[in-house]
Structure 1
Amino acid sequence: MARKKSGGSGGPSGGEWLATYSDTMTLLLTFFILLYSFSSVDAQKLKQLAASLQTVFTGQANNAIFDYNMKYGEVPLVGENSFQDQIPIDKSTGDPSMYETVSEFIEKNKLEAVVQITEDSRGIIIQLRDNILFESGSADIKEDSKNILEKISTLVSSFPNEIIIEGHTDNVPIHNQKFASNWELSSARAISVLKYFVEVKKIDPYRVSAHGYGEYRPVKSNDTPQNRAANRRVNILIVTKEGVSE
Structure 2
Amino acid sequence: MKLSRKLVLAKAKAPDLESVKKLNCWGCNLSDISIFTQIPNIEVLTLSVNSITSLASLTGCLNLCELYLRRNKISSLSALSHLRSLSRLKVLWLAENPCCGTDPNLYRLTVLRCLPHLQKLDNQVVTEEEVALALTQGEEVTTPTEPVQNQPSTNGHPDTETENDPLEYSMDETNKIRKQLGMKPIPRDKFPSLSSPSTRENRLLARKSHTLDAILLLLKDLEEDELLVVHAATQNRLQMFTLNSEMMKNSLQTQRTEDIED
- Name the TM-score, length of structure 1 as normaliser: 0.21
Q: Which has the higher contact order (CA 8 A, sep 6+)?
A: 1
More strand by share: 1
Q: Which has the larger radius of gyration?
A: 1
- Name the TM-score, length of structure 2 as normaliser: 0.20
